[in-house]
Every structure is written in structure tokens, then in C-alpha cells.
Amino acid sequence: MSYPSLEISELAFAYPDGHQALYGVDLRINQGERVALLGPNGAGKTTLVMHLNGIHPAQHGSVKIDGEVIDTSDKELLRKIRGKVGVVFQDPDDQLFMPTVGEDVAFGPKNLGLSDDVVQERVIQSLSKVGMLDYKDRPPHHLSFGQRRRVAVATVLAMNPTILVLDEPSSNLDPASRRELAEILTSLEITLIMVTHDLPYAFELCERSLILADGRIVEDGVTKEILSDRELLHRYRLELPKGFAF
């Protein structure tokens, strides 16, 4: 039986200070979909993402990954879910801390207890997918920002996730690096969720977009149709670059 990659039902969450970040979010993302998560700052995007691999437990409602409900009290299940949901942070330096690129990519698979041969196979495959295999023995801090972001993606791919979540993947990239990353992401056969303020990047990479505002999904549809609605974008403080045309 085939399940959706992600299924969220009536998800609500409040922080200890009483701030209600999510109000009854319902969402279904099928296997292989590429979905952009849009919305103004403070909309609840980060809070929502932190539920996808159990960093935040569901206070109300549920989150299912490949048909399995995340139960943060089940440590073995949580480890399994975190292998399935790979998150690439906005700053690659938050994910790169080993002496070499290869060791960074090997870190996750090693922690799974995989054999050295399997670990090295995953390192080679993951770095090849992002075009960084030739840099395997280089220190990460000697790389450009765009190269470090690609290595950060490789560290996640080495875990063989079924869902790849990217937080502002195009931020701080020069035009060439931005294009190279887009080519890599479109080549991956994986469910992709991209949190971004970069609307042209959402249009380029994701056929479907969601707008999250005040802890609720207020729009869910075809990216081009959403981005063509200037009144809708204005209402939720989203802006296309001046002169942008489809």
C-alpha cells in the first residue's frame, strides 16, 4: 500500500510563553511532489517544519511520515523518522563540522551503525549527486558558500531520506550557484519541501505552493496561479521581483 509522504491532521502548537504558532493545520503531500512553503516572517513555517522530524512534538493533532504517526516518546521510531526526513538548514555551517567534506557526509550513516563499505558508498553517491565528489578530502571551510550548501545537501542525502526539507536554499547564493543548486534539486527523485521567500525559485522548482499565515494554511494550489495573484501576494506580504514575468 502506498501512503502519502506527509500527512498532517489538525496540527496545533503553542510555545511555553503562550504564543500560538499553529492552528489546526491540515496538509497532505504525495510521494515525489515538490512543494514550496511560503509566508511572511512569523507565519509559523519554521514551527511547522520542526514537527516533521519530531523536534517539536504534536500537542494536538498528528503528523504522519509514510503512513506512520510520529510519536516523540518512542525513541526508536523517532530515530527512524529522522532518517526519513532530511532537513537542510539555511546556514550550511550549522551542518558542517568535521575536518573534511567526506567525513561530514559519512557522519550520519556512521551513526546508523552501517558498515564502512556501505558508509563510503553513500558518501560517494551523495557527493556525486551534488557534483562535489572531487572535494571529498577538502576541509569544508575552504569551500565557497554555494559549495558548502551543496555539501550540506549531500550530508542529508547520505541518510537516504524520503523527504528533503530545505530552509531558504537560495539565500546568499550568487546566480551561478543558485542555478547549479536548482539543477541538482530538480534531478533528485524525492519528495521536496522548500521553505522560501524567493518566489521565482519556488516557481522554478515547485509545481505546488502553500501560503502559511498566522499559523494557518491560507492558500494551497498551483505555484504559477498563486504567484499570478498580485492581490493575494500583497495580502500576505509576498513580493515578486520588479519586472518578473512568467
Mind listing the pLDDT tens digit for each residue in 212-241?
999 999 999 999 999 999 999 999 999 999
Q: Does residue 159 contact residue 110 with C-beta atoms inside 8 Å?
A: no
Q: Looking at residue 181, what is its pLDDT?
A: 95
Instruction: Give the Cα separation of 166 and 74 in Å (integer).
Output: 26
- Counting residues of the chain whose pLDDT is more than 70, the rounded percentage is 100
pLDDT in tens, 154-179: 999 999 999 999 999 999 999 999 99
Instruction: Kindly report the pTM of this predicted structure.
Output: 0.93
Q: Looking at residue 126, what is its pLDDT?
A: 97
- Domains, the chain, ranges and CATH? 6-235 (3.40.50.300)
- Counting residues of the chain whose pLDDT is more than 90, the rounded percentage is 91
The answer, yes or no, to whether residue 1 has pLDDT greater than 70, is no
Return the exposure string of 150-177: e unless at least 16 CB atoms fall within 10 Å of the residue's CB, then b: bbbbbbbbbbbbbbbbbbbbbeebeeeb
Q: Looking at residue 209, what is its pLDDT?
A: 98
Determine the average pLDDT of the residues in 77-96. 92
Instruction: Give the Cα separation of 35 and 194 in Å (integer).
Output: 6
The grid cell for 239 is: 513580493
Helix/strand/coil (H/E/C) assignment for every residue in 44-65: CHHHHHCCCCCCCCCCEEEEEE
Average pLDDT along the chain: 95
